[in-house]
Amino acid sequence: MNPLTREMIDAGAIDAMVARDAPSVRILSESERRDSLLRTLAAKPRDDVWVFGYGSLIWNPTVDFVERRVARVTGWHRAFCLATPAGRGSLDIPGLVLGLDAGGCCDSVAFRISGEIVESELAMLWKREKILFGQTATNLP
């Protein structure tokens, strides 16, 4: 399997994979993703943003960053607690992927995104990570 690239994300490869593997699952529209991103941006000052990578973001962040540091988040631990019907599983037997679950702590990597490009880089991250409407590990069909 080829590593995920910015070009693949931008071209809609993740949405296409989900649509192919789980056609009954509702994928967020571009406007829904944009609204989510704008709500997130409204809740923070307009400066640099740190993104904590706990899964594939560690080795393949696909966002432009100005700094990378070892980081720890307390109150959460890395676990295979998210289910996906696409790519690694099916609607009948969803595959598990890494997420952060309550309790403990997690050592990983954090990426600092410059405030000058934070909106475009988080938009890329939203296209990569915010795919399904209202779906969690516990309520996949």
Residue 107 lies in a domain: yes
Residue 136 lies in a domain: no
Total domains, the chain: 1
Q: Could you tell me the CA-to-CA distances from 68 to 89, 93, 122, 129 in Å, in that order?
A: 32, 36, 16, 20
- Domain span at residue 48 reads 6-129
Active-site residues, by number, are 129
Instruction: Give the pTM.
Output: 0.85
Q: Which two tokens stand for residue 69?
A: 């540091």
pLDDT digits (tens, 9 = 90+) for 44-65: 767 899 999 998 999 999 999 9
Residue 41 lies in a domain: yes
Residue 137 lies in a domain: no
pLDDT digits (tens, 9 = 90+) for 97-123: 888 999 999 999 999 999 999 999 999
